[in-house]
A and B are shown apart, each in its own frame.
Chain A
């Protein structure tokens, strides 16, 4: 009975979202305030019923209701509670409900934090989001109902959550990634609302910016969590593998990065309007495409859910209507937007344009590389795979160019900057960066490689040019602290996010070029050394976990005869399915990670194993944290909260008075 209630509230949410997708939109088109005002309550109602729906599904998982199909398929009575609850998103149906629920959460957020926007605009934004909600719920009800029952005989126990997913990473990575992904729907809805109203001005860009920044920050964290999880989960190819399902979030992220920069230009200078709108549409398409690829079985990958062409056709339909419709609307409306101001050949506008071009080209080349195997198969019937070499060869140089511009952009001025000013400002920065790049890797790692030098030079370039810019900004103020306080939060956000790029660059570069590993067979008591680290194998013993049995090995780690503690890698067998799984043990550090994976047990308690030393690997995710913090800080800038729309509010109030006489005779 209870699961049916969940289904019922899903249907109610469906009905409410149909109203949300139509009434406020019609109201906005006809200037009917009453209908526009329905947007907020309808959005809240949709959210409430989707919450009930997902809450009931979570309850079914928590109470082992194996009569519900996806509970039987993805859970098991032995599963620890945190995995029972999160097994909800361990398959296609539940994760799509989560996706839709998050969309409604964003809708609620928009309806709460939009007090300063005119109601007509809010009605359109929520209306567009409501239409997306309609499509998603219809998709669930038609092809992938999460509340489907097994009748008449439910199984006695579930067939367990995929053992590779029984991990902390699974609890945090999918919701964060979805949250960021779905956030771009909001920015998309803002763009569509602006196109519909025909008013693409600086106000539109200002309203969109905090939403774009927050979505982008969450997506950054979501991707970083995925990367961190893939790093310690053996067999997933390390922190980044250019897997076909890893790529769409990155594509979305790159387009989102382009978008937040382009929005800045549109807000401050009133140029690039149609380009910014197009980017908002593209970033959203990226997120939908990610869903399409994961759920249609289009590409084979570790992430893919069970393949089903009907689902694929349905999502493609959603993609076609949403993106195709948006692009057509763009084609008709964009020519009406005219840039208000011009700019010179050397100006901040130009550097931001170059940033956009590079980011979009990177996104496009990753997109092509991801889809190429499928295209190839469509044409020749043969299977091929495009590996990391393609992606590295294209992505690397593009990022080098991007980072070079990153140093110059913030230093340059709107409209026109003189080249000699830039040269004068940055020549010393460039020289010092190169010097640091040549010396530092040698001092820290006693090794030298061209790639490492490039990474360190570029990272220093970012940090030093940022520092120089900061110095320029405060040098004329009376005191340093006064100067620092005069700068806006969005300026600090930008600085921190850019420093995040430098930090991540160091991590990526040094890990890629200086990691070492060794595979050995060790008998108990034997030691293997790697670099300056010694790993002593102290033997293994059987242990028993909540839903698995395992052989746990003990290692004592030391460096230069001083002990660094013990590590306990495991080989597990999960009881429900009999699946073996390797749990690596990691000693994480700021400057290096040490880790061990167990292989096979051989004669006399000896094991095969691989030990690794990975310098600076944590910096990859530390960089992502910096970027996300920067994006959040920029979104928190007080100018977004200022009620700049007093004028609009007055207009609307006046209009409301006029209309209410006609429309609400009962209340007057």
Chain B
């Protein structure tokens, strides 16, 4: 009996190992387990031109939420797609100006064109943390009720738009009808 106590560390270790093994398959970092099908986090911030914006200013229809920054080179690659989408009125695009500087952001929009209905200014990246943003660029598909339905990390060009977003939007529309 006395010898059994020396096995105690082994038992504890086995229990722990099972737990760690189970833990490996938990998704602690990708968004799907956290925010997909959950409402957009609350925010009360300024937009790039300095007016206050909050959740109530978001479009009442399906829209895109794009994380961008003037420092972000890949954002320039996807920029024409967003310009086309907003010019053709295909879908509203709201921006999140992520960890940027106000003046640089304004210049960037002036130089390259502004596809956004408005851009939420997230200077310290707090809203980005709530959203679980990895970095710019990143785009979320949000439905009319303000619920996040799809997320795409990195550049959204025409290919991604056709392959990923159009089907996702079609599905959303089918759902609501």
A interface, CB within 8 angstroms of B:
274, 278, 281, 285, 292, 296-300, 307, 309, 312-313, 316, 319-320, 323-324, 327-328, 330-332, 334-335, 371, 374-375, 377-378, 381, 383, 573, 578-580, 600-601
Contacts and interface: CB of A to CB of B under 8 A. Distances in A.
Given A274-B6, A297-B29, A578 B71 contact: yes
Contacts of A319: 17, 20
Contacts of B17: 316, 319-320, 324
B123 interface: yes
A327 B10 contact: yes
Interface in B6-36: 6-7, 9-10, 13-14, 17, 19-26, 28-29, 33-34
| Top 4 closest pairs, chain A to chain B, by CB | A578-B71, A312-B24, A327-B10, A331-B7
Contacts of A278: 9
B73 A383 contact: no
Given A313-B24, A371-B23, A374-B28, 18 more contacts: A274-B6, A281-B9, A297-B24, A297-B28, A298-B20, A316-B17, A320-B17, A327-B9, A330-B10, A331-B6, A331-B10, A377-B28, A578-B71, A578-B72, A578-B73, A580-B99, A580-B101, A601-B101
Contacts of A377: 23, 26, 28
Interface of B: 2-3, 6-7, 9-10, 13-14, 17, 19-26, 28-29, 33-34, 69, 71-73, 99, 101-103, 123
A246 to B, nearest CB: 17
A216 to B, nearest CB: 21
A600 B101 contact: yes
18 contacts: A274-B6, A278-B9, A281-B9, A296-B24, A297-B24, A300-B29, A313-B24, A316-B21, A316-B24, A319-B20, A324-B10, A331-B3, A331-B7, A377-B26, A378-B26, A383-B28, A579-B71, A601-B101
Main secondary structure of the interface of B (DSSP, over half): helix
Contacts of A381: 33
Contacts of A324: 10, 13-14, 17
B9 A374 contact: no
Contacts of B20: 292, 298, 316, 319
Contact of B103 (A297, A328, A374, A601): A601
A150 B9 CA distance: 45
Nearest to B24: A312
B14 A309 contact: no
Contacts of A332: 6
A590 B101 CA distance: 36
A157 to B, nearest CB: 12
A375 to B, nearest CB: 7
Given A316-B17, A378-B23, A307 B3 contact: no
A374 B23 contact: yes
Contacts of B6: 274, 330-332, 334-335
Contacts of A323: 13
Contacts of A375: 19, 23
Contacts of B9: 278, 281, 327, 330-331
Nearest to B136: A578
Contacts of B26: 374, 377-378
B103 to A, nearest CB: 7
A309 B101 contact: no
Nearest to A327: B10
Contacts of A274: 6
A378 B9 CA distance: 23
Given A298-B20, A374-B28, A573 B71 contact: yes
A579 B72 CA distance: 8
A63 to B, nearest CB: 26
A300 B28 contact: yes
A371 B12 CA distance: 15
A248 B22 CA distance: 19
Contacts of B22: 378
A600 B71 contact: no
